[in-house]
Structure 1
């Protein structure tokens, strides 16, 4: 399995209200595949007697921060490939603490999806579509106009 992206455990500790060493222990135990009830009951000595609620809060926040870190890495790569990545934008992306904030930062750089309407406009079909929508042209006129395409 891939190495989880680095996250700020001090931030998690502050948010949950526990020591950084406790967060490190919980993250290590969770990464080993241990469940929250197992850690709560049988690894109290390693977690400093954290209760199940605190361990779940750590688990949830670490999961979120890891998702943010992975998405930030992807967004940085995508914007960099477009040649539009500035130092200021890089710092903003690296400091983002939620997926919503990351997506808001990425929105101006996101490639536009190609809809059928966009493809038709690129092929020059917009005038024909306008004539159809207006309802002024006869069927014969529309057939003749469509032959050009």
Structure 2
């Protein structure tokens, strides 16, 4: 296993762990300032939406400022959908490097998240498409597209669900 592949996996595992541990500032530090964070929706024809400007998205943040706002709302209890905060367990699997352009790496992986709140456990699963930007010996997430494959979601989604 190459050293870069191990570092890629370590960066993905770390981001998932930080969500589980609710270490919000450290989690935000995993992201580049100009990150695009997008979760398209499934349309009536069972196709993913492909334009966040003209079609419905489950989540869309055009930069890290949007993620910082989400974290602010979670931390200051200004997010009714996040109170109480759920207990989560994120799993990352089948990490595959799709392209290596030197300073950026395109990665695809599967995820499964268990979220427990109000004596109920929900399961979220799908595929992530992530661009990792090399910064010294580490990686920052420069782009994240989340393809949630659940057919029915019975609650408002937030960043910790995926």
TM-score category, normalised to shorter length: under 0.3
Q: Taking structure 2 as the reference length, what is the TM-score of the superposition?
A: 0.20
Q: Taking structure 1 as the reference length, what is the TM-score of the superposition?
A: 0.22
User: Whose helix fraction is larger, Structure 1's or Structure 2's?
Assistant: 1
Structure ID, larger Rg = 1
